[in-house]
Amino acid sequence: GEEVAQTPKHLVRGEGQKAKLYCAPIKGHSYVFWYQQVLKNEFKFLISFQNENVFDETGMPKERFSAKCLPNSPCSLEIQATKLEDSAVYFCASSQSPGNQPQHFGDGTRLSIL
Amino acid sequence: AQSVAQPEDQVNVAEGNPLTVKCTYSVSGNPYLFWYVQYPNRGLQFLLKYITGDNLVKGSYGFEAEFNKSQTSFHLKKPSALVSDSALYFCAVRDIRAGGSYIPTFGRGTSLIVHP
């Protein structure tokens, strides 16, 4: 498609439950990026993929967060045993290259942990 | 290391007046610089980028930005603001030196409010 599609738009989970977010990148874009936007608008980089391979995971919390981009499937970001502090808007972006091309963002998934 | 600063949390301007949203950066090598805009409940939308060449870059919706290497700045400008320009604006930088990160660093955002 011509837009990055993120689902669901809103996700509510009780503390300790699992949350799974999905992202369909723009067709033809090889790179996918996940960001977390928290208070004060700060964008925190989590992880990026080149096709189905992890490209950079330096921002990914090691314990409860995992992500995948499998062929012919939306990419996914999964949080196990969610905590209150995981409440944020999670954005996915895609680009043709990781360097000088802009990233195209989806509209995000708002995750609320109760 | 790469970093970017947006020194103003909020900029207020009257409709029809020129606007400037400030951005300064720090990189070890040379920068790729980007401006994005975020409307409520939406993702970032790309406005313009500086890669190389002319220091004055023109982008979407009448916005432009000037790359100033000596001042390490990349301020966003528009000659005549519209109420519909009211949004959050993010500057981003990537250091293109060999071995630098491919992941851009985003500023903390500046809220632009254009008053009728």
Q: From CA B52, how far away is CA B77, in angstroms rounded? A: 19
Q: How far is A68 from chain B (nearest CA, A)?
A: 18
Long-range contacts of B67-72 (CB under 8 A, 24+ apart): B67/B33, B71/B24, B72/B24, B72/B25, B72/B26
Is the pLDDT confidence value at B1 over 90?
no
Quick check: B85 pLDDT over 90?
Answer: yes
pLDDT tens digit sequence for B20-58: 999 999 998 889 999 999 999 899 999 999 998 899 999
pLDDT at A40: 65
- B72 confidence band (pLDDT: 50, 70, 90): very high
Q: Is B82 an 8 Å CB contact of chain A? A: no
pLDDT at B99 over 90: no
Residues of B in contact with A93 (CB under 8 A): 43-44
- Please say whether the beta carbons of B111 and B8 come within 8 A: no
| Residue in chain A nearest B39 by alpha carbon | A107
DSSP state of A3: S
Confidence bin at B60 (pLDDT 50/70/90): very high
pLDDT of residue B102: 82
pLDDT means per 10 residues, chain A with 114 residues, are 92 97 95 90 91 92 93 95 96 89 94 96
By Cβ distance, the residue of A42, A102, A106 closest to B43 is A106
A5 interfacial to chain B (CB closer than 8 Å): no
Question: In terms of Cα–Cα distance, which of A103, A95, A100, A92 is closest to A36?
Answer: A92
